[in-house]
Structures are given as structure tokens and as C-alpha cells.
Structure 1
Amino acid sequence: MERPSGKTTVVLHFDYDCFYASVFENQNPALQSLPLGVKQKGILATCNYAARARGECPELVIVEGEDLTPFRDTSKKLFSFLRSHSWNQKVERLGLDEVFMDVTDIINYNVPLLNRSCLSDSFFCLSQENPESGFPCDLTRLAGCVHGSLPEPPPLENPLYVRLLLGSHLAWYLRLQLEERFGFTSSCGISMNKLLSKLAGSKHKPRNQTTLLSLNDAVVLDFVDSHNIRKIPGIGAKTTRLLEQRILSENTRVDVRVHPDISPYGLETLLGGPGSEQGAGLRVWHLLHGVDDIEVKEASDFPTQISIEDTYRGLNSLTRIEEELRKLSASLVRRMRVDLLTVHESAEHGASDQRWMAHPKTLRLSIRSWPAKAETSDWDFSRTSRSQPLPNFVLSLKESVETIAERLTSDTLFPMLKKLHPEKGHIWDLQLINVCVANMIPSGSQAGTSVGRDISIMFKRQDDVLRQWRCQLIYGIMI
């Protein structure tokens, strides 16, 4: 497959090592030398590398990780640090422990600054305004691990190699800063798109990084072919199952890509149909060849959506379901206030108050039920969802979180749930509940009763400024 010509994008993919366990280790350093496990819903969700190295570990120290607040807060702090080193603001968070960075512009700025006669004593510039802001580096070699054969001498005449070389040292510097400043180690992948950088970062973990030296198409194809199809980002479980059924492969990547029945048209036919994404076949065809043209999203001061969910072994009572909806609602409202509120200066007495930076327009409820025994082998993990406009009372700051959560559950979410299965006598057996707010509108861009800018404050400030120029009529004389 012909690849896009002149591709010079450099994308970094950071993955924090054992993130959930690391959060507890940072809170309590005494845990760092112990085999540590994090429990959620009575299940061991993850553990640190000390525990993984021991296999069976009867002395495992288990901590409760049900409350996601410390993980979200830490993730936000680390993301803010990485974002502060971006020039183009193309920094995208994936979950709580992964971050993509498009560093093409900062790399391009440093390329002409290279002194090829003294690469071992190079300086990477981190600011366009301050030439002293940066770090020293040895550009005679790539930093960290490399996937792909490196010619000798290094091909400094190759623009892609030079950009990957600089990208590897920037990744090394940022990883070191994350560890020294915040105490979190990470793995990183360096490549020319999101797909390849994510795959590269998983090659050498933990506390390491890998640059995919993709100087020709053969290296990329061999690298992608070495991965199990289920490990490829962008190819979900349903697509994988359809591909396996079609070509009867052994679930290896190369079997799919080179199969004679696989083509863009064939994939579009296989994956198309009612409700399917348009162009899904071509998208998968590109991924099979290591091509990913989806850009890293620009960072925002607020998230595009806020989602709270929980899983259950079998939630089958409407009373218990309503209770869980109430808990999820409280977590959602609390998270909205953390992520979407900012402090604004008030016009009166120089005081400050909280205002919404953005407000979501849509409320979505999603559930997933456990399959019946006869359906277990063909379970596709799909969710059933329902959306409606978010009620305005959710944005009130006069009521407590618990009061708003109670009303949101009784007035909105519980009726939405019943509409997902309106038939009488339906047997509930929920495996997952997700409550989400989406379609964020920046404050001030749309009028609202509880959000946006207060225009009365603007006129009050204007009145104060113009007071000295005001004319008054006293005893028939204008002064």
C-alpha cells in the first residue's frame, strides 16, 4: 500500500507504569518496596511490578481502589505538566494513564539548530522566546530502545531519522521530569502516527521507551504484522471476530493483511451494514498497513465529556439499580464541579465566585446486561443507551451534590432506564451502568439561565469606568 508521502509528523505516546498502584505508592512511600495490589469491586484490578515478578504472592498487600478521585486528580496533574511543554496544544489524554503528544512543531524548530559537527554536545530548545530554556543531549544516538535496524553511520541526511532522533530525546527528557517532579515512571513510544507510537511504547516496559525506526515501508509492515490482531488500537472485538470468521486465521496480524480475500472493498462489504460506521473497511485496511491519519486532538481547558461508570456481578433489583444510579449521579455532579468550574472575579467588593467554564447539553445513560447462558459464546459486549438534554438544575451551585444527585436520579435517570426496556416483566441483570454528560458548550457562547457570562456584571464594570466622565444636571446647570 502506498503510504502518504512527506510524512514528517512525530507523535509521542506516554503510558504511566502501573498507574493505579503508583498513585498509592506516591501517597504512602512505604508501599513502594512491597508487592501491592489494587482491588475494585472485590476483584484484583491491577498490581505493581514487584507483585507481578513474584507470580503467586501470598504476602500481597491489597488496597481498596473503589474511589477513582485520587486517580483522576493525579492524571489531571500529570497531563497538565505534559501540556505545558506543548507548543501546538495537540495533547490528548486516553483514559487516566495514557497521553498522546504531537510534537512536530517543536521538533521542526530544533532541526535547523543542529550542529552536525558536534552532535554529542547538543542542546534541545524548549522555547521560541527563551533560547536558554531546554536541555543538553547527545544526538549521536537515539535515546532509549530502537525497533528496526540502524544503519552505520546514522543517516543524518534522512529528515525522518533526524526528527525521530530529536523526538526520542524529547521523550526521554519528559519521562525523566515526570519521575523527578512527580514520582511517576512511564513508558513511551515514538513514531510518526498515533497507532505506531502506541504499539512501539508497549515493546519495552516499564520505565523505558522505544522509537520505531520506520525509514521504509518494510519496517512498518513487519512491525505491525508482529502483533496479535486483538492488540491493534482501532480494531475492536466485533471487527476482530468478523475477520476471524471470514478468513479462519490463527488470529495473527499477517494472516489478515495478506489474505487474498482482504481488500478495501472486501472489508467495506464485510464490516458495512445498517448502523455501521461509514468507511470502516478502509479505516481497518489502513490500520493493517500501519497508516493512521487521525490527528492528536488539541487539548482543552475542559473535557469533551465526563463519564462515570461501574460494573456489577449481577444487578437485578430495581431498588438496587436506583441506589447505584444515585451513587453514580453524585460522582458525576462532583466531577463536573471539579473539571468544569473556575473562579471568576466578582464585580462587587472584589470578591470571587465560581462559574462554569462550559456546560454539557446532553445526558446519556448506558447499560450492559449479562448474557443468557445460551448467548454467552456470542456475546458482543454492546451497550444499550439513551440520551436527552441535560436538565438545567444540575448546573445549580446553590444545592448540594447529594440533593442534585437525588433529583437527577428520580426525575431523569430512573425514567430513562425504564425506557431502555419498556416491556412489562423484563428481567434486569446488569453488568454495567454508565452515566455521561457530553456536547460541551463553552460558557458565554450560548445564553443560559445558570451558565455563561453575567452581562449585568459587564455593565456594572462599564459604569464604574465611565463614572468620572458622567454629566449631571444640577439646578439647570450641566456639570
Structure 2
Amino acid sequence: MRKVLHIDMDAFYASVEQRDDPALRGRPVVVAWKGPRSVVCAASYEARRFGIHSAMPAMRAERLCPSAVFVPPDFARYKEVSRQIREIFLRHTDLVEPLSLDEAYLDVTSNKLGIASATEIADLIRRAIRDETGLTASAGVASNKFLAKIASDWNKPDGIYVVKPTQAMAFLAVLPVGRLPGVGKVMQSRLHDLGIQRVEHLRSIPVTVLEQRFGRWGLRLHQLSMGIDESPVRPQRTPKQISNETTFPADLQLDELEPHLHRLAERTWAAAVRQSMLTGHTITLKLKTHDFVNLSRSITLTTAPHSAEDIVGAVLQLLTRVAPVAGIRYRLAGIGLSGFRSLQNGAIQGDLFAAGGNSNAGSVDR
């Protein structure tokens, strides 16, 4: 039986800003560039009371809370604090899988201090983070990654929640199916159509029926409903790509794509901001015709984009490289960002759309 922690910093970027500027403490702080296409990178808990959250358009956040203090993000500073926190993790185990700057999985089954209790380790880590960085973190403790991640959100902020193996089934039973990893709005709607609202309802459906309906994902749903997750904690997990795609309600002509590309660029940039993957130099445009022919065009920029507008500019340039053909319409479009480079200019390369679909999953600064 493994012992897994999920450590999640509380409103990380905003908390760093409030820590470093006492005038911001207790005030609704929004970490974002101001502008018509800017998105919220993080919101303090004071700002969240107004309904502001990560990835929300900054202009909407300003309307929700006119008194909010907008602070431009300082990712170099956040990375440095994240490095401090990572060092605290590594005092206990080398099995640390970062998901973003502000959250990580830790496998403490066999740990460096020989502590038998995973809960005690989580408490030690949270105390060290508070003492050494002045910030708070929440923790989930469980026998696998999936349960630990859900648990870490249970007592936020500055809390801990433990799901013992004997409690896992009851803990999961009452959860909405939307809390399961990989169950987005579309899948949630499909499950609701089957009368599946909570995890306990999902368990009542035979696994063969789920597999017939959803293929291999049906088996995965069944396993999650039973609290089963065998995925190991993998050290140094680094995203290789960020991409978004959309299938149109009706096939479109080439000259009708631009408004949709603007929205895709905004979503791709928001995902890059959330994951702090802002050094991608390669932008890819993917199109699928009405008869399911895939087209892609890529460009590698000298300077990484600094906004959604930069991505839009590159994508529209790529669009001019798609020759208009009479009768050809498009059923899908996608935008990807890759070719990430570290601050030390070490390249991290990846093939866009390799998994076929939206691969912008990641952490929202909670």
C-alpha cells in the first residue's frame, strides 16, 4: 500500500504578492496583466469572494470587483519560491512529481526520515513551508495520486485531509462525477444522461456497459469509482506541449475561421499562464476538413509569445499558408504551443496534438 501526498499551495501567485507587499494583505488581489485579452493568473481568497478565479478574462474580473488590485505576474520570483518548496519536498523523498509551480505529488511510502505516518510528513512539510517561505499549503494524504489530489482540495486553505484506505469507498460515493479526473463538462453531461450524478451511481453500472458506451475510458471510470489508481509518482514530470482544439457545430469556410482562432489562442495562452509554460517558441495551427483530412502548419518564433495576441498574430500568418480550395470546409481547428525552453535555454521539445485532443490539463492556482 503506497502513501501518497498531494501538496497544493494556497492561491500561490497572489499569496507571494501579498507576502512581499504588506499593503496588499487582506485586499482582493488579482495577478494579471491589464488589457482586453488578458486573463487572470491567480486571485487571492479575498478576490475569490467576488467570483474571480484563474483563467477568467481580466476585464470581467475588474467588473466583478472594481476595487481589486491588479498586479502583473512575476514568474521569475514565483519560480524561485517554487524551487524553495521543492527543496523542502526533497528532504523527505526523491519521488516528487511536480504538476506546476504550485503543486506536486510525493510518494512517501519509503521516505528519507523513516517516518511511518504520511500524515506526520504532510504536517512537517506544511510547517516548513510556512516557516521558510511565509506561505501556506494544503495537503491531501491517501493511498494513490487520484485520491490525494481530491483530498488536498477538501480543507483549503491551509488545511489537510486524510483518506484512509478503509474510508476511500465512502469518501468517493457522494462526490459528483465531475470531481473525477478526466470528467469534463461533455463527459459529465453524457453521464448525467445515463442517470449518473454521483460516484455511487457510477458504481451501479456494470463495467461491461461502461466499456460498451465509452471504450477503454469506461474501464477507467469504473476503476476511479472504486478508488483504484495504479499510476506511480513520476519525478520531474514536465509538460511538452499545450494545445487546444474545437470542433465546430457546422463546417466552416476558411475565411470564417478567424473568430474561432482568437478564442483558441486565448485558451491556449491561459493554459500556458496556468502552467507557467511561457517559453514556447513553436506555434502550430491544426485544421481538419469536412472529409476528415488533417492539415497542420507550424512556425518557430525567435521570441516566445508574450500574450494571446502574439499567438493570434502567428496563427493568422499560418492561416495564409493554407490554400483556399473550392468546396472545402473545415470541421475542426486547433492551436498548439511547444518548443519550450528553460530559463537556462535548455530546449524541451514535444510533438503537438500527439494525443489527439485537448492537452491543456493542469493546475489552476487554487
- Report the structure number with the largest CA radius of gyration: 1
Cα displacement string for residues 396-430 of structure 1 (whole angstroms, at most 9, x for unaligned residues): xxx6668xxxxx99999843686599777979999
Q: 5+ unaligned residues in a row in structure 1: which ranges? A: 1-7, 111-123, 125-162, 273-278, 310-314, 338-361, 368-383, 403-407, 445-479
Cα displacement string for residues 359-384 of structure 1 (whole angstroms, at most 9, x for unaligned residues): xxx965469xxxxxxxxxxxxxxxx9
Cα distance in 1 between the residues matched to 2:96 and 2:8:
13
Find the partner of 2:240 among 305, 308, 329. Answer: 305
Contact 1:17 1:185 in 2 (8 A): yes
1:85 paired to 2:91: yes
Cα displacement string for residues 168-211 of structure 1 (whole angstroms, at most 9, x for unaligned residues): 11111111222222222111001110111112222211101111
Residues 1:421 and 1:297: Cα distance change in structure 2 (over 3 Å): farther
Q: Percent identity?
A: 21
Residues 1:238 and 1:74: Cα distance change in structure 2 (over 3 Å): farther
Residues 1:282 and 1:64: Cα distance change in structure 2 (over 3 Å): same
Contact 2:27 2:46 in 1 (8 A): yes
Match of 1:113 in 2: none
1:200 paired to 2:200: no
Match of 2:29 in 1: 36
Match of 1:295 in 2: 232
Aligned residue runs from structure 1 range 399-478, under 5 A: 414-415=317-318, 419=322, 433-437=335-339
- Give 1:83 shift: 4.9
Find the partner of 1:225 among 162, 173, 191. Answer: 173
- Give 1:68 shift: 7.0
Contact 1:386 1:416 in 2 (8 A): no
Residues 1:210 and 1:59: Cα distance change in structure 2 (over 3 Å): same
1:184 paired to 2:164: no
Match of 1:48 in 2: 44
Name the aligned partner's letter for residue 337 of structure 2.
Answer: V
Residues 1:83 and 1:307: Cα distance change in structure 2 (over 3 Å): farther
1:13 paired to 2:3: no
Cα distance in 1 between the residues matched to 2:296 and 2:325:
15
Cα displacement string for residues 323-349 of structure 1 (whole angstroms, at most 9, x for unaligned residues): x79x97x99997259xxxxxxxxxxxx
Name the aligned partner's letter for residue 32 of structure 1.
Answer: R
Q: TM-score, normalised by structure 1?
A: 0.51
Cα distance in 1 between the residues matched to 2:44 and 2:14:
6
Match of 2:68 in 1: 61
Match of 2:214 in 1: 271
Residues 1:414 and 1:58: Cα distance change in structure 2 (over 3 Å): closer
Name the aligned partner's letter for residue 291 of structure 1.
Answer: I
Aligned residue runs from structure 1 range 361-376, under 5 A: 364-365=284-285
Cα distance in 1 between the residues matched to 2:323 and 2:192:
32
- Give 1:220 shift: 1.4
Contact 2:279 2:304 in 1 (8 A): no
Name the aligned partner's letter for residue 96 of structure 2.
Answer: V
Match of 1:213 in 2: 164
Residues 1:421 and 1:63: Cα distance change in structure 2 (over 3 Å): farther
Q: What SS is found at the alignment partner of 1:15? A: strand
Cα distance in 2 between the residues matched to 1:184 and 1:235:
31
Contact 2:126 2:137 in 1 (8 A): yes
Q: What SS is found at the alignment partner of 2:181? A: coil
- Give 1:234 shift: 3.3
Which one is further off, 196-205 or 281-290?
196-205
Contact 1:364 1:385 in 2 (8 A): no
Of structures 1 and 2, the one with the larger relative CO (CA 8 A, separation 6+) is 2
Name the aligned partner's letter for residue 305 of structure 1.
Answer: K
Contact 1:187 1:208 in 2 (8 A): yes
**How many residues end up aligned between the 2 structures?**
309
Q: TM-score, normalised by structure 2?
A: 0.65
Cα distance in 1 between the residues matched to 2:186 and 2:143:
27
Match of 1:101 in 2: 106
Contact 2:29 2:71 in 1 (8 A): no
Cα distance in 1 between the residues matched to 2:315 and 2:45:
44
Find the partner of 1:171 among 94, 102, 122. Answer: 122
Residues 1:228 and 1:401: Cα distance change in structure 2 (over 3 Å): closer
Match of 2:201 in 1: 255
- Give 1:106 shift: 0.5
Q: What SS is found at the alignment partner of 1:169? A: helix
Cα distance in 2 between the residues matched to 1:421 and 1:282:
43
Residues 1:42 and 1:267: Cα distance change in structure 2 (over 3 Å): same
What is the Cα-based RMSD across aligned positions, in Å? 5.1
Residues 1:418 and 1:223: Cα distance change in structure 2 (over 3 Å): farther
Q: What SS is found at the alignment partner of 2:30? A: strand
Cα distance in 2 between the residues matched to 1:244 and 1:297:
33
Find the partner of 1:243 among 184, 191, 199. Answer: 191
Q: What SS is found at the alignment partner of 2:279? A: helix
